[in-house]
Amino acid sequence: MPRFRLTIEYDGAPFVGWQRQDNGPTVQAALEDAVAAFTGERVEVAGAGRTDTGVHATGQVAHIDLATDRFDARTVMNAVNAHLVPRPVAVLAVEPVGPDFHARFSAIWRAYRYVIVNRSAHLALDAGRAWHVKAPLDVATMQAGADRLLGHHDFTSFRATHCQSKSPMKTLDSLRVSRHGERILVEARSRSFLHHQVRNMVGTLKLVGEGKWSPDDVTRALQARDRTAAGPTAPAGGLTLTGVGYPD
C-alpha cells in the first residue's frame, strides 16, 4: 500500500476548517473527494495540523495511503488538482514516503505567519487575508513583548477555552515581529500549538504595539494562567500555516 506525502495550499475563507465535519465544507473533505474521484477509493487525508475556520495555508502537509501502486507521484498530484477545481485548494507537491511517515505525528515543528495591515484606509485587496489595525503600532515594543513568550511555558492564558489539548505546556521556539511598510508580520514556530494560541498571542501583542500594554503586562498575562488575563483573539483571516518540518 503506497503512501504519499502532499504539500498543500488553500484559502481558508470558504471552509469551516481543515477537519472533516458535518456543519460545512472542509479542506480535508475537499481533498478526500478529489482522491476518490481520481482513484475510486475513499481514503483518509491525514493532515499535519487542524487549521480553524478562515485560516489559510501555504505549507500544510498531509499523507494518503492508496490501495494500488499504479500511480506515481506526479500523476497523483495532477489528477487530484484536476478534481479540486474550482475549490481554492491546490496540491503543490507529492512524493512517495515510507510507512513510518505520518504527517501529524512525524512533524517536529510547525510555522505560522500572521499579517497585520497597519494603516487608516480600509482593506481592498487584503480583506480576509490580514487584520486591519488603524492605530499606529510600535513593532520594537511588540517584539519586546513577544520575547517574553519564548521558551517552555504553561500557555493557558493563550489557549481557547474549548482547547482539547491534554496539556497547556508548550515550547515556543520563535516569535518574530517585523514591519514591511504598512504590513506587520508576526511569525511563530513551535513543535505544536494550542488551539487559538497564535491568534491570542497576536491579539495581546497588538495591545503592546498600541501602547495600552507593556512587555511586563505580557509576562503577567502568561503567569496568570487564565485566558481572561491575556488580550483578544485576532481574526482568523490574518493567519496562515506556512510550513511543517520533519526529520531528515
**Active site amino acids:** 52
Q: How far is CA 27 from CA 23, 68, 205, 206, in A?
A: 13, 24, 30, 30
Q: Identify which of 108, 101, 105 has the alpha carbon closest to the alpha carbon of residue 1.
A: 101
Distance CA 172, CA 142 (A): 16
The DSSP bridge pattern shows strands 151-154 and 56-65 to be: unpaired
Q: Identify which of 100, 104, 113 has the alpha carbon closest to the alpha carbon of residue 192.
A: 104
Phi-psi group of 150: left, alpha or beta (phi > 0 → left; psi -120 to 50 → alpha; rest → beta): beta
